[in-house]
Chains A and B, each alone.
Chain A
Amino acid sequence: MITAAHANNPNPYIQGTDLFGYVGIEAVLDQMRRKTIKAGLEFNIMVVGQSGLGKSTLVNTLFKSKVSRKSCTPNYEEKISKTVKLHSVSHVIEEKGVKMKLTVIDTPGFGDQINNDNCWDPIVKHINEQYEKYLREEININRKRRIPDSRVHCCIYFLPATGHRLRPIDVEFMKRLGKIVSIVPVIAKADTLTIEERHEFKERIREDLTVNGIDVYPQREYDEDPEERVLNDRIRESLPFAVVGTDKEHQVNGNKVLGRKTKWGIIEVENVAHCEFANLRDLLIRSHLQDLKDVTHDVHYETYRVRRLNESNVDFSDLSRSARPLENGCADKCESDSHL
């Protein structure tokens, strides 16, 4: 009785009301949820910016746990390194049974030297290395069921709150990295800007981004439907987020809030009227986490893959020579289904 779409039927999908009874298609959501809970998530986030902009504090505040060691703690080795060294720290965070393996990649030394030419090279190299690793695993004949995903899903770029415009180093970095990873620019230590200054600064930054052809997340071209477009447009209008981070709590009106206490008042980090930390957190974690991973996989990784496979056809044929068929004899699939 369940026929394919009728020619006269304007809607190709058979609506639930047309069905004679409850089929149970929607139960797939439950199945997916259970699988996710069992398997857990992986999320890799990279923070880039000059030292002292509050990168580690922000990451700690975002994930409400001490995932990064702050450089202002007493035991931290304080030498400003001559080159940009990448520093990866992984933690497993659990909430309501859902486990997330969070990896934070820090980039100390970025933009701190007198001569910062090519300080973005180690970062570009690292990101491409992760793509390469994943590609190798994917091309493998005997590949794992779940390829460990160490690709950078999101890169948070910290802009100092100068109030003027993007600096040359910001432009150079974002131009190069906007093509290979999803960049989310944020205005760091934004408690030095008044609300009007903040608006003007953001406008100028957005202008600069358009003038230079820099595409930050969420990219306009990957909006899948009008609904998403509306949502993402709203986000794009308030980019970059002006954030303030802290892990200290204070009492305000009888509640304990995360905030910074100064002589003229307490800056509440999670108060939307004070700063946009809550918006950033919602974007990164509550609404667009999966989207970030999807964009990384479907767009950035695919671009890398196409480029690499075009460059080196030889590698591909080498691997196939030592072929051993899989046990169930399936052909090699192009789409990887091992990510969640």
Chain B
Amino acid sequence: MDAIMLQEKLVERLLCPRVRTARQKEKQYVGFATLPNQVHRKSVKKGFDFTLMVAGESGMGKSTLVNSLFLTDLYKDRKLLNAEGLILHHLRSPSCHHHLSAASPCDPPPSPSALLCRCCAERIHQTVEIIKHTVDIEEKGVKLKLTIVDTPGFGDAVNNNECWKPITDYIDQQFEQYFRDESGLNRKNIQDNRVHCCLYFIPPFGHGLRPVDVEFMKALHEKVNIIPLIAKADCLTPNEIKKLKDRIREEIDKFGIKVYQFPECDSDEDEEFKQLDKELKECTPFAVIGSNTVVEARGQRVRGRLYPWGIVEVENQSHCDFVKLRNMLIRSHMHDLKDVTCDVHYENYRAQCIQEMTSKLAQDNRVDSPVPILPLSTPDVETEKLIKMKDEELKRMQEMLNKMQQQMHDKDQ
């Protein structure tokens, strides 16, 4: 009797109210309703990962927004990176062998006009780079490994033809990597580097989408979830924001761009949730303002921007859509974004890849095999050794992690 009571208490603690009422109706239950919670506990232990890409011209406030969203300062050493990138560019230039001095950390990104070698005045061609920042965030025991993929240089040059090519190449590369890992022999620890979401920053200065915006989104809408944002929305009055959003939505329809659609809510969700969801959908594209500086407004300390004519509060829903974006991106749809990436974009890529492989092989007149031939050949001895080594390393690291977890557990107790 005691054991059953204990079990009941445990289940009650874990179950959510809805199931509890159902349980109260019938005294006989099997107990698999606790499955979601078991999954939940396992995932919490394992931790989540999320890869977010930000794209847009420089000066749109991308880094500020990312810092505001995740309440971190991911871009502390950004400036150094740019200077190094600059030096790398320079070293590749054949005619000049002088070295530029690295910029100090407090400098903003080097000016495009400074990309002239000081001695030979040769213009260093600026291309779009892909820079990854990874940070581990933890909140209430849930770990998130967040990767931000930045695309400096996008849309900044005079001639921006195909400036999105490095970005599409990067995304395809990640898909290819995952494809190989998935088709490989050792599938225990696949690193998922696929880009789950791309925030595209549309400048507020224009009257809608510019040619470069349209081309970028058309090149990427079948590879990644695109969420268009109106950047620096504090230079627009409410009327202008509304007009711009309507224009952009119209043009997105007109050009057939498939941006990320919020999934329809289930019919059994409560009214409040449905209302929120509807509001969310009507608000796209979100007009955002980012800030990590704290100012004093209406007697409270809030994150915002201080102007002579007033204070813009980042988290005030009537000022901008930052809160909506954060809720959507992190609190409600993060998992859905990952699912769509896995189920739709990755599957599209995979199907395309396999089709190409089989058509190539058919051209080569090989014997048709009933099973589609995988792109990987059987690994040779070298690769096998490598795999074994890596496996052992991973095992060692796992043991270390377990030990550390145990130590922390002991400390807590």
Contact = CB atoms under 8 A, between A and B. Distances in A.
Partners in one complex: yes
Interface of A: 50-53, 71-72, 78, 80, 112-117, 160-169, 171-172, 188-189, 191-192, 194-195, 200, 204, 207-208, 211-212, 260-268, 273-274
Nearest to B215: A114
A208 B210 CA distance: 27
Q: Ordered nearest first, which 3 A-B pairs have the shortest CB separation? A: A162-B59, A265-B310, A264-B310
Given A166-B112, A194-B307, A208-B111, A189 B211 contact: no
A162 B108 CA distance: 12
A192 B64 CA distance: 14
Nearest to B216: A114
Given A78-B207, A80-B210, A116-B160, 13 more contacts: A112-B211, A113-B211, A116-B158, A168-B113, A191-B235, A191-B307, A195-B308, A208-B113, A261-B237, A263-B318, A264-B312, A265-B311, A273-B308
B207 to A, nearest CB: 5
B320 to A, nearest CB: 9
A162 B310 contact: no
A165 B108 contact: yes
Contacts of A50: 205-206
Contact of B235 (A112, A115, A192): A192
B156 interface: yes
Contacts of B308: 195, 273-274
Interface string B315-328: 00011000000000
B306 A168 contact: no
A212 B203 CA distance: 27
Nearest to B234: A192
A253 to B, nearest CB: 13
B80 interface: no
Contacts of B60: 162
Given A115-B159, A168-B157, A262 B113 contact: no
Contact of A188 (B205, B215, B311, B313): B205
Interface in B202-253: 203-207, 210-212, 215, 232, 234-238, 243
A151 to B, nearest CB: 27
Contact of A267 (B59, B207, B309, B319): B309
Contacts of A171: 112-113
Nearest to A196: B306
Contact of B305 (A164, A194, A207): A194
Nearest to B210: A112
Nearest to A264: B310
A52 B159 contact: no
Contact of A53 (B126, B205, B212): B205
B114 interface: yes
Contacts of A267: 307, 309
Given A165-B108, A166-B112, A172-B158, A51 B238 contact: no
Contacts of A117: 158-159
29 contacts: A50-B205, A51-B206, A52-B205, A72-B243, A78-B207, A114-B160, A117-B158, A160-B205, A161-B235, A165-B111, A165-B113, A167-B58, A168-B113, A168-B158, A189-B204, A192-B234, A192-B235, A200-B108, A208-B113, A211-B111, A262-B236, A263-B318, A263-B319, A264-B234, A264-B311, A264-B313, A266-B310, A273-B308, A274-B308
B166 interface: no
Contact of A162 (B57, B113, B159, B312): B57
A273 to B, nearest CB: 5
User: Most chain-A Cβ atoms within 10 A of its Cβ — which of B59, B156, B236?
Assistant: B59
Contacts, number: 127
Contacts of A166: 111-113
User: Most chain-B Cβ atoms within 10 A of its Cβ — which of A53, A114, A211?
Assistant: A114
B109 interface: yes
Contacts of B309: 191, 264-268, 274
A164 B108 contact: yes
Interface residues of B, number: 45
B413 interface: no
Contacts of B21: none
**Chain B contact residues: helix, strand, loop or mixed:** loop
B161 interface: yes
A93 B215 CA distance: 43
A115 B212 CA distance: 9
B383 to A, nearest CB: 43
Given A52-B205, A262-B238, A164 B319 contact: no
Given A267-B309, A274-B309, A262 B160 contact: no
Interface in B157-212: 157-161, 163, 203-207, 210-212
A228 to B, nearest CB: 30
Contacts of A262: 234, 236-238, 310
Given A262-B238, A263-B319, A52 B112 contact: no
Nearest to B297: A264
B214 to A, nearest CB: 9
B305 to A, nearest CB: 6
Given A192-B232, A264-B312, A267-B309, A204 B111 contact: yes
Contacts of B234: 191-192, 262, 264
Contact of A168 (B112, B203, B207, B313): B112
A263 B318 CA distance: 7
Nearest to B57: A162
A189 B319 contact: no
Contacts of A265: 307, 309-311
A112 B113 CA distance: 20
A278 to B, nearest CB: 14
A114 B111 contact: no
A115 B160 contact: yes
Contacts of A208: 111, 113
A265 B304 CA distance: 14
Contact of B109 (A71, A164, A189, A264): A164
A169 B158 contact: yes
Nearest to B319: A263
A50 B204 CA distance: 12
Interface string B282-315: 0000000000000000000000011111111100
B357 to A, nearest CB: 33
Contacts of A274: 308-309
B307 A167 contact: no
A262 B239 CA distance: 9
A49 to B, nearest CB: 9
